[in-house]
Amino acid sequence: THFGFREVPETEKAGLVGQVFSNVAGKYDLMNDLMSLGIHRLWKRFTIDQTRARPGQHVLDVAGGTGDLGAALARRVGPQGRVVISDINPAMLEVGRNRLADKGIVGNVEFVEADAEHLPFADQEFDIVTLAFGIRNMTHPEQALREIQRVLKPGGRALILEFSHPTWPGLGPVYDAYSFHLLPHLGQLVAGDRESYQYLVESIRRWADQETLKQMMERAGFELVEYFNLSGGIVALHKGIKL
- Does position 88 interact with ligand SAM (CB under 6 A)? The reply is yes
Write b or e for each residue in 17-53: b if 16 or more Cβ atoms lie within 10 A of its Cβ, otherwise e.
bbebbebbbebbbebbebbeeeebeebbeebbebbeb
Annotate each residue in 122-151 with x if it binds ligand SAM (CB under 6 A) or - if it does not, as one string. Answer: ----------xxx--xx-------------
User: Alpha-carbon Rg of the chain, whole angstroms?
Assistant: 17
Distance between CA 154 and CA 31 in Å, rounded?
37
Distance between CA 167 and CA 165 in Å, rounded?
6
E-only strand ranges, 17-135: 58-62, 82-87, 109-113, 126-132
DSSP code of residue 181: I
- Does position 193 interact with ligand SAM (CB under 6 A)? The reply is no
How many CB atoms sit inside 10 A of residue 103's CB?
12
- Does position 21 interact with ligand SAM (CB under 6 A)? The reply is yes
Query: For ligand SAM, which is the closer residue by CB, 92 or 158?
Result: 92
Interface size with ligand SAM, residues (CB under 6 A): 20
**Cβ(219)–Cβ(142) under 8 Å?**
yes
The count of residues in the chain is 243
- Does position 51 interact with ligand SAM (CB under 6 A)? The reply is no
Distance between CA 101 and CA 97 in Å, rounded?
6
Q: How far is the CB of 228 from ligand SAM (least distance, A)?
A: 16
Query: For ligand SAM, which is the closer residue by CB, 100 or 132?
Result: 132
Measured in degrees and rounded to the nearest 5, phi and psi for residue 154 equal -55, 135
- Does position 227 interact with ligand SAM (CB under 6 A)? The reply is no
Q: How far is the CB of 90 from ligand SAM (least distance, A)?
A: 9
Q: How far is the CB of 111 from ligand SAM (least distance, A)?
A: 12
Query: For ligand SAM, which is the closer residue by CB, 17 or 159?
Result: 17
- Does position 48 interact with ligand SAM (CB under 6 A)? The reply is no
The footprint of ligand SAM on residues 90-129 (CB under 6 A) is 92, 115-117
Residue type, 224: L
89, 108, 149, 196: which one contacts ligand SAM (CB under 6 A)?
Answer: 89
- Does position 87 interact with ligand SAM (CB under 6 A)? The reply is yes
- Does position 187 interact with ligand SAM (CB under 6 A)? The reply is no
- Positions touching ligand SAM (CB under 6 A) are 14, 17, 21, 63-66, 68, 87-89, 92, 115-117, 132-134, 137-138
